[in-house]
Structure 1
């Protein structure tokens, strides 16, 4: 999770300083003495000097992790971290090791890197390393009350169990065809694909991959998980509500949850209206009787807590909002990166197309629709998705707030043989699976997108995935069904432990079907894959990100 939005688009520091001086001069009445102006000018300088001296002169406690040196008080390392968190982490690791602390806009954040660091933080007890304390101020205004991080952990685990009911194989079997239809209809009607619609196999067109994937993702999710009424209601008014709500899902909202800004007010109004939208659907379904719809609303309407209390309508509505917002961002990001890499590696895109020709060709030379079971058995498609998620996990930083002093295991990082680091209460801790997934100490050619690394059964990738899936090991039930812990693996694209994303199977289905449908209809090209944009909550590709395309000859 990136926290650079407050700094996104800011001027260089010297320009900010010049603006500060100009504002100070304009603010102070001319009749005032020059002393006041000098005070305003020099106080920040004095603060910076004192902050630096404090770090150099005052020794830190021997049992606390080293703190990254920073010039500007309160801001700390926010600029370096926000602009490029992975380079920041790797550079800090070279100097301080796997465990260190940095200041992030007044917060003290202790980072624990590598698989052992991930295991320490993501596998830690929620009573000590708490996710609700870290995230509820961001998620509750968007998702709503009484769900996710707005409830005690044990209640959230029950809610995850409810969601898991709707993520059944029976429902998934109906979703593949729905997603394929939505993508094909989009290609046939969206203005971005005019060349495709003209059925010209020689002319090339282009599209903004992030924009297109965001639209396709919300269309396919609403057609499947969200339900028929949501798909039918995807008009301009719904899009406006979604955009206003999405405007509250930014790093700025994470760092400063209650600013008196128009975007915050639009977020709050949008949440109320969207919650009412879902509640109206639920009430209408209850009044009309059970329609056996293969969607999440229907599944949630049948659920009750262990104490016998049924899931209330507003809780169902808020869970649906959470699914919409979280799934939309992560899936559109992963889909964008996948298509970008395929466009930059046309030989792999062609091999992916030939995989479909081999499995789905009909006697008349066309390609038939896939089934859910068939989609799961395409080795190259599976490898393409895994490799994309390895290099581009949607969230690069996962945080917890420390409720009590916690000891870091000596095996992770210790100041000496006979002592250990202690993280004080009130600090935040941060795990970064994105670091372990691109660590050159673990992966060969770590920054090269190479799906074929997953075909070596003895290779690092296969071993990492086996540890993550832990198919033959002991499963843990956190309250939503037995799952592999996966916190020891250097590959954790959907998180690990009790907060591991339960929607990963749907994400594979959705992403695989979208990519397969696009690749079977068109060739795609791009000169190079864009860099990461870390100024958003979910890591997206920087603009420009236009992919060139043309219709396949035998489509």
Structure 2
């Protein structure tokens, strides 16, 4: 009886799938004659999906090598057009939201950020929110963040002792969220609520899975924890916001954190964000930087440990620019750390945390590659892949080699338009990149001047494609030893 029911269920499911596929074929809009070529691998409809899930970068690289910089691959009932390389990528980064929109493809973040925040906001309201975020990341505020970050790093490393071992990704993730909390959330949150906020952030982060992209409200355990975490985050920050408002403007004038900026935000229509919306903007800003900073600092140090000559040069640069282990880092110092800056750039080139960027085509638009012009039709999902594009040999010489000197004169390989995508490009370039460089360079500077590091396993780990933001898979165990000067 059970076998019969299972057979019937499979038959019904098969019939429904067949009907859906037929409907897609019959009713889909015909593509323009000059549309990008459609490419497939394996079985129709499911072959591309299987290949993509197994190894997204390998699939994109394979299609790029076979079919060129512009191609469309049907997946999940949608046409996904990839634009790879500086020339083909240009329209992706040049067009405004009226042509290539972010809202439709990043809508799965609504349960994390909340309604009316960033990708769920109307364009005008979203622009005002982004301006408020940019205001919190202007130079005068960034300068004030340097000593805050230094204080956190030095306090954190006091308990390490003279030697030991740890997972560097875990340690740098902790340091990233501690320093971000101090700068973005404020002293009251960092001192009183950090541990709760850090755990809630972890639950929010784990609630973004590949399933979330297609079914953001699917009844899965990760989504249940995500929803509970956001509710509790709003409650905790609501208490902080109410306490600050009660204290009054004079007491809040000393607050240099971005929480205060969001609290003081007034929209052009006279309205102001609710406490939940203030919390949502804080979550959005933390999401934008947490992974990039923790992952890029991990790769930067790992590559340096695998390249002793580069590590030696980094240590020499720190001695020349900053001084001994106890010397405080200043804003001016950070601007003179050219090699460290280029090492971080190179780490982001080789292993960008966002391996794909996405848009939705609200209109037809043209794209050119090697003299051939294509029309990408309205309704397409449009992707570019920094992870593939920044490994093109014609753009970056010996792309699989960690070479921070490629950014220094006279080479400056990153200066070709839309070649380097470590922080995106064009009008939607990451506004937090200055904070990201500041945060990573400050904490790495303190670590290098106080400790010697050695990778226990002398190789780079594999990438973890199970996460929406791609970092190392498994542990990266490091052996450390406190320097003699630092011990004194």
Shift of 1:502: 0.8
Q: Distance in 2 between matches of 1:240 and 1:27?
A: 45
What's the counterpart of residue 357 of structure 1?
A: 319
* Residue 286 (structure 2) aligned to one of 313, 320, 324: 324
1:80 equivalent in alignment to 2:19: no
What's the counterpart of residue 420 of structure 2?
A: 491
Alignment of 1:310-459 (within 5 A): 310-361=272-323, 366-404=325-363, 406-411=364-369, 414=372, 420-455=373-408, 457-459=409-411
* Residue 242 (structure 1) aligned to one of 201, 211, 219: 201
1:218 equivalent in alignment to 2:147: no
CA contact (8 A) 2:296 2:348 kept: yes
28 and 153 in structure 1: CA distance in 2 versus 1, 3 angstrom threshold: same
1:303 equivalent in alignment to 2:297: no
1:186 equivalent in alignment to 2:156: yes
Shift of 1:40: 4.8
TM-score (norm 1): 0.79
Alignment of 1:111-126 (within 5 A): 111-126=82-97
Q: Distance in 1 between matches of 2:41 and 2:66?
A: 14
Shift of 1:308: 3.7
74 and 141 in structure 1: CA distance in 2 versus 1, 3 angstrom threshold: farther
Once the two structures are overlaid, the 10-residue window that deviates more, 226-235 or 258-267, is 226-235
Q: Distance in 2 between matches of 1:274 and 1:413?
A: 52
Shift of 1:530: 1.4
94 and 360 in structure 1: CA distance in 2 versus 1, 3 angstrom threshold: closer
Shift of 1:432: 1.8
CA contact (8 A) 1:342 1:524 kept: no
63 and 453 in structure 1: CA distance in 2 versus 1, 3 angstrom threshold: closer
Shift of 1:316: 1.8
* Residue 479 (structure 2) aligned to one of 515, 524, 548: 548
Shift of 1:223: 1.0
Once the two structures are overlaid, the 10-residue window that deviates more, 382-391 or 300-309, is 300-309
Larger Rg: 1
CA contact (8 A) 1:75 1:106 kept: no
| Superimposed CA distance per residue, residues 70-104 of structure 1 (whole angstroms, 9 cap, x where no aligned partner) | 44555442332334333322211121111111133
CA-based RMSD of the aligned residues comes to 2.7
Q: Distance in 2 between matches of 1:378 and 1:460?
A: 17
Which SS does the other structure have where 2:105 is aligned? helix
Q: Distance in 1 between matches of 2:119 and 2:10?
A: 44
* Residue 127 (structure 2) aligned to one of 157, 161, 170: 157
Question: How many pairs does the alignment contain?
Answer: 472
1:102 equivalent in alignment to 2:73: yes
83 and 550 in structure 1: CA distance in 2 versus 1, 3 angstrom threshold: farther
CA contact (8 A) 1:403 1:426 kept: yes
Shift of 1:548: 2.2
Which SS does the other structure have where 1:309 is aligned? coil
153 and 42 in structure 1: CA distance in 2 versus 1, 3 angstrom threshold: closer
Which SS does the other structure have where 2:484 is aligned? coil
306 and 519 in structure 1: CA distance in 2 versus 1, 3 angstrom threshold: same
The structure 1 segments of at least 4 consecutive aligned residues displaced by more than 6 Å after TM superposition are none
Shift of 1:439: 0.9
286 and 215 in structure 1: CA distance in 2 versus 1, 3 angstrom threshold: same
Shift of 1:37: 7.3
Which SS does the other structure have where 1:286 is aligned? helix
CA contact (8 A) 2:149 2:443 kept: yes
Q: Which structure 1 segments of 5+ residues have no match?
A: 1-24, 415-419, 468-487
TM-score (norm 2): 0.89
What's the counterpart of residue 429 of structure 2?
A: 500
CA contact (8 A) 2:354 2:470 kept: yes
Which SS does the other structure have where 1:341 is aligned? helix
448 and 521 in structure 1: CA distance in 2 versus 1, 3 angstrom threshold: same
Once the two structures are overlaid, the 10-residue window that deviates more, 444-453 or 428-437, is 428-437
What's the counterpart of residue 168 of structure 1?
A: 138
Q: Distance in 1 between matches of 2:421 and 2:152?
A: 30
What's the counterpart of residue 444 of structure 2?
A: 515
CA contact (8 A) 2:99 2:365 kept: no
Shift of 1:519: 1.0
Alignment of 1:18-57 (within 5 A): 27-28=3-4, 36=7, 40=11
Shift of 1:424: 2.9
CA contact (8 A) 2:132 2:262 kept: yes
Q: Distance in 2 between matches of 1:42 and 1:126?
A: 38
CA contact (8 A) 1:408 1:423 kept: yes
213 and 276 in structure 1: CA distance in 2 versus 1, 3 angstrom threshold: same
| Superimposed CA distance per residue, residues 494-550 of structure 1 (whole angstroms, 9 cap, x where no aligned partner) | 112232111111000001011111111111122111122222111101224212222
CA contact (8 A) 2:86 2:418 kept: yes
1:534 equivalent in alignment to 2:448: no
CA contact (8 A) 1:114 1:436 kept: yes
CA contact (8 A) 2:32 2:375 kept: no
Shift of 1:413: 6.5
302 and 238 in structure 1: CA distance in 2 versus 1, 3 angstrom threshold: closer
Q: Which structure 2 segments of 5+ residues have no match?
A: none
